[in-house]
Amino acid sequence: MVSLKDVARKAKVAVSTASLALNNKSRVSPATRRRVAEAARALDYYPHSIARSLKNRRTQTVGFLMGGFGGPVYAEMVQSVHDTLAKHGLDMIVCFAPAFGRLTHGRMLDGAVVLDAPTPNRLLEQVAARDMPMVVMDREFRCPNLRSVLLDNQGGSRAMVAHLLARGLRDLAYVGGPKDSYDSRRRRDGFFAALSEAGLEPTAEVVTDFTEQGGRDAVRGLLAGGARPRALFCANDETAVGALQALAESGLAVPDDVAVTGFDDIELARYTTPRLTTVRVPRVAWGAAAAEALVESLAGRTTPARRTIGVELVLRESSGAPAGEGR
Amino acid sequence: MVSLKDVARKAKVAVSTASLALNNKSRVSPATRRRVAEAARALDYYPHSIARSLKNRRTQTVGFLMGGFGGPVYAEMVQSVHDTLAKHGLDMIVCFAPAFGRLTHGRMLDGAVVLDAPTPNRLLEQVAARDMPMVVMDREFRCPNLRSVLLDNQGGSRAMVAHLLARGLRDLAYVGGPKDSYDSRRRRDGFFAALSEAGLEPTAEVVTDFTEQGGRDAVRGLLAGGARPRALFCANDETAVGALQALAESGLAVPDDVAVTGFDDIELARYTTPRLTTVRVPRVAWGAAAAEALVESLAGRTTPARRTIGVELVLRESSGAPAGEGR
DNA sequence: CTGTTAGCGCCTTCAC
DNA sequence: GTGAAGGCGCTAACAG
């Protein structure tokens, strides 16, 4: 391990001078600067990030707290967060709940992006109180050092309901997600609000866990119970995929007997039979916006405490939209 | 920011004593230990990881170098690597090529797992030479501080070829991936070896970029050129999905006119029409094995320089396997 | 058992 | 323009 001291010795200057020279800081004579640079190169010197961080009180690293990359929704978004941070010279460390406290409290991180519903507000408040800027993507939260970058889930649900109603469908069933998820709750809010504004009530409501399996089971149960909605509004695509399977088993035609819609626009949505009408969540833009917000906070600039990312309806055959649309 | 010094002062002991007490190190009298613990709690003290790392010369963090989480193959594997490392008290920092040198040279990392074909061997050698243990998942490499954990790509290809031949298919075309990918090259090796051992030659060979789009274009080209293979051996699933689309466009039936096989067993493979026969890559086991190998290296234990992870044939309808198999 | 001392590698006043 | 000294927060000898 070659340190600045070694470089200084080789260049026959004091460590401080070597430091200044390498960091282009104060005025150092061109001659010494060159000697130092040369010595550094000769020794293959590389600054020790940890030592530097200790001194600067900045690690150039931000954490991304999430529940797991498992789902098809996250990958692109995480990538986007990473890339955006990288553009600003920041590294990203992926962390799950167990490590989060240690990482933040230990000041291993300069800041964090959070997308993990189970994490309690209290923990976020604690971390924020220790003066660590954060951006949350899965809840509204008013607190110093904390900003929210959220999806317009309600808007998406409303648009979807409007689409279904416009197609003349009236008996809509809601196949929902976990109540501990912000996105899930807001999607539900939008659905119910839109429906009641139209003077309607849902035919049925079931709750699932946002998985394909969960969707299949829920819809099987629904059908077994004798319900015959004209449309299933599923709160995410994976659930909708399960719903399609359950309907196929029962010999019900989609969309002629029952229309099905999802939410997220995962890749799979273009491959189901029929292809799935859904709400596109702009994952790249979402992640980038979150990262940018954090960068601003780190720079000490003031930014809106809350930002909303728009979503977009994607019409395909599962809701009876004309074939060929929605690629 | 409350430091050990504050705790020591509050507990009326020396910093070193406080350190010992909190880390349960040397024998400290129960009374002092308690006083220190209490002071720490009262002050809401948390050790500063960076300072600790500087001293210990260990960051408890390992890097995962990859090309991007984009693809459907990576998510599960990365997750598995992460979880395995977490079990050993290590954090994982995801890094892409541009940041890798800085992170390793700056000793921000204790070690690294590498899965990124474009990264030159030379860089890995440099890093290894700086005494950083690494595990590579995408190349064979003999070098101190470096071990390989690889997929049995050849075995998978051979098994697949055997399956196709057993179904009586003879005119096989190879739809390959990028030549700079280790997995891609090995899959090709296995295919050609198995075929030539059977005394056969491929009908055609095309190269793609492992994407769906690439597969579609390649197969379109193949068909436009007048080729009429009885089976398309695609070197990954995404390519195979593209191939299925191209065949559908041409009105060719799968598997009756042309059989199609993939490699990886991504989720999508169960949803194509017909469902895709492929080689299952055990992503969780693969990631875990890589992580374990790194942990062993970090602990200074000697481990085999190379380990191979087995793969498994998954028969579905696209190769004419009886429906109902392969879930 | 506890305190004193000496760094880890770097950066940054502050004199010269 | 350059060097000496101090300290970031923590740990590990070594004394007492």
DSSP code string of B189-203: HHHHHHHHHTT---S
Domain of A223, in residue numbers: 153-281+313-319
Residue B75 has a pLDDT of: 84
- Average pLDDT of adjacent 10-residue blocks, chain B of 327 residues: 94 94 86 94 96 95 89 86 96 91 95 95 95 96 94 98 97 96 96 98 96 96 95 98 96 97 94 95 98 96 94 97 58
Of A59, A76, A94, the CB nearest to B50: A59
- What's the Å distance between residue B151 CA and nucleotide D11 C1'? 43
> Which residues make Cβ contacts (< 8 Å) with residue A294, sequence separation at least 6?
A62, A85, A111, A112, A113, A133, A134, A135
To which residue do tokens 């929210």 refer?
A: A148
Contact B49 A102 (CB under 8 A): yes
What pLDDT is recorded for position A24? 86
Is residue A133 one of the residues assigned to a domain?
A: yes
Note whether A49 contacts B106, CB cutoff 8 Å.
Answer: yes
Nearest to A81 by CA among A70, A98, A101, A66: A66
Co-location of A67 and A28 in the same domain: no
Establish if A33 belongs to a structural domain.
Answer: yes
CA/C1' separation B6–C1 (Å)? 21
Grouping H, G, I as helix, E, B as strand and the rest as coil, residue A306 is strand
Q: Select from B53, B45, B48, B56 the least CA-distant residue to B9.
A: B45
Q: Taking 60 as the threshold, does the pLDDT of residue A169 lie above it?
A: yes
Task: Answer whether any strand D atom is within 7 A of the Cβ of B22.
Answer: yes
Nearest CA in chain B to A245: B271
CA distances to A81, A84, A292, A309, B217 from A87, in Å = 10, 5, 10, 21, 33
pLDDT of A323: 58
Q: Is there a domain that residue A108 lies in?
A: yes
In this structure, the answer to whether residues B29 and B124 fall within a common structural domain is: no
Task: Work out the mean pLDDT of chain A and round it to a whole number.
Answer: 94
pLDDT at A116 (0 to 100): 93
Same domain (yes/no): B86, B196: no
Q: Are residues A125 and A138 in the same domain?
A: yes
Burial of B178: CB neighbours in 10 Å, binned 0-12, 13-18, 19+: middle
Distance from CA of A247 to the nearest CA of B (A): 16
Beta strands B111-115 and B259-261, pairing class? unpaired
> Does A52 reside within a domain?
no
Q: What is the mean pLDDT of residues A20-39?
A: 91
Q: Is A77 on the interface with B (CB under 8 A)?
A: no
Considering only CB atoms, B86 lies closest to which of A82, A86, A98, namely A98
Least confident of A19-28, A212-221, B144-153, B293-302: A19-28
CA distance A259 to A172: 9
| Domain annotation covers residue B289 | yes
In this structure, what is the dihedral angle of CA atoms A22, A24, A26, A30, given to the nearest 10 degrees?
A: 80
Among A48, A68, A273, the residue with its CB nearest the CB of B106 is A48
pLDDT recorded at residue A149: 98
Tell me, yes or no, whether A271 and A287 share the same domain. no
> Looking at the complex, does the CB of residue B199 fall below 8 Å from at least one CB of chain A?
no
CA distance A196 to B238: 43
Sign, CA dihedral B60-B65-B70-B72, equals: negative
Return the structure tokens found at A221. 């149960």
Residue A125 (CA) to nucleotide C8 (C1'), in angstroms, measures 33
The answer, yes or no, to whether residue A248 has pLDDT greater than 60, is: yes
Under 8 Å between Cβ of A188 and A176: yes
Of chain A, the percentage scoring pLDDT greater than 90 comes to 87
Residue B197's identity, in one-letter code, is: E
pLDDT average, residue stretch A252-273 = 95
Q: Is B205 helix (H, G, I), strand (E, B) or coil?
A: strand
A49 has a chain B CB within 8 A of its CB: yes
Is A144 within the bounds of a domain?
A: yes
Partner residue facing A268 (CB), from B74, B91, B271: B271
A106 vs B48: CB contact, 8 Å cut-off? yes
The closest CB to that of B96, out of A76, A86, A98, belongs to A86
A107 residue type, one letter: R
d(CA A94, CA A113): 10
What is the share, in percent, of chain A residues with pLDDT greater than 70? 98
Arithmetic mean of pLDDT, A202-218: 96
Q: Any idea what the CATH number is for the domain that residue B24 is in?
A: 1.10.260.40
Q: Over the stretch A54-108, which tens digit does the pLDDT of each residue have?
A: 999 999 999 999 988 777 788 889 999 999 999 999 999 989 999 999 999 999 9
Q: What are the helix and strand counts (H, E) for chain B?
A: 12, 12
Decide if B174 contacts B219 (C-beta within 8 A): no
With beta carbons less than 8 A apart as the criterion, state whether A139 and A305 touch. no
Task: Return d(Cα A161, Cα A190) in angstroms, integer.
Answer: 9
| Confidence class for position A25, pLDDT limits 50, 70, 90 | confident
Q: Is the CB of B9 under 7 A from strand D?
A: no
Report the number of secondary-structure helices (H) and strands (E) in chain A. Answer: 12, 12
**Who's near A218: CB < 8 A, 6+ residues apart?**
A175, A206, A207, A208, A239, A242, A243, A246
- Structural domain contains residue B324: no
Distance CA B272, CA B7 (A): 62
Tell me the C-alpha distance between B233 and B149, whole Å.
25
Residues, CB < 7 Å to strand C: A 1, 3-5, 15-16, 19-20, 22-23, 25-26, 47-48, 51-52, 54-56; B 12-17, 20, 26-29, 31-33, 54-55, 57
Same domain assignment for residues B211 and B174: yes
CA–CA separation, B253 and A119 (whole Å):
50
Burial of A302 (0-12, 13-18, 19+ CB in 10 A): exposed
**Does residue A216 sit in the same domain as residue A112?**
no
For residue A70, how many other CB atoms are within 10 A of its CB? 13
Q: Which residue's CA shows the smallest distance to C1' of D11?
A: B55
Q: Does B265 share its domain with B255?
A: yes
Q: Are residues B287 and B145 part of one domain?
A: yes
Pick from A60-74, A161-175, A278-292, B260-274: least confident: A60-74
Query: CB–CB of A212/A241 below 8 Å?
Result: yes
Is residue A112 situated within a structural domain?
yes
B17 sits within 7 Å of strand D by its CB: no
Number of domains in chain B: 3
Q: Which nucleotide is nearest to B107 (CA to C1')?
A: C9
Nucleotide nearest to B31 (CA to C1'): C1
Domain identity same for A293 and A144: yes
CA distance A195 to chain B (A): 33
**Separation between Cα atoms, residue B167 and residue B175, nearest integer Å:** 19
- Straight-line distance from CA B298 to C1' D4, in Å? 39
Position A46 pLDDT exceeds 80: yes
- B1, B22, B69: best mutation site toward chain A, by most A Cβ within 10 Å? B69
Sheet hosting strand B259-261, strand order edge to edge? B204-207, B172-176, B231-234, B259-261
Q: What is the CATH number of the domain that holds B272?
A: 3.40.50.2300
- A208 and A120 assigned to the same domain: no
Helix axes B30-43, B15-22, angle to 10 degrees: 90
pLDDT (0 to 100) of residue B323 = 58
In chain B, positions 279-318 with C-beta closer than 7 Å to nucleic chain D are none
Beta bridge partners of A259: A231
Chain A residues 9 to 28 whose Cβ lies within 7 Å of strand D are 12-17, 20, 26-28
Residues A253, A233 share a domain: yes
- Cβ-defined contact of A50 to B107 (cutoff 8 Å): yes
**Which pTM was predicted?**
0.89
CA/C1' separation A21–C14 (Å): 18
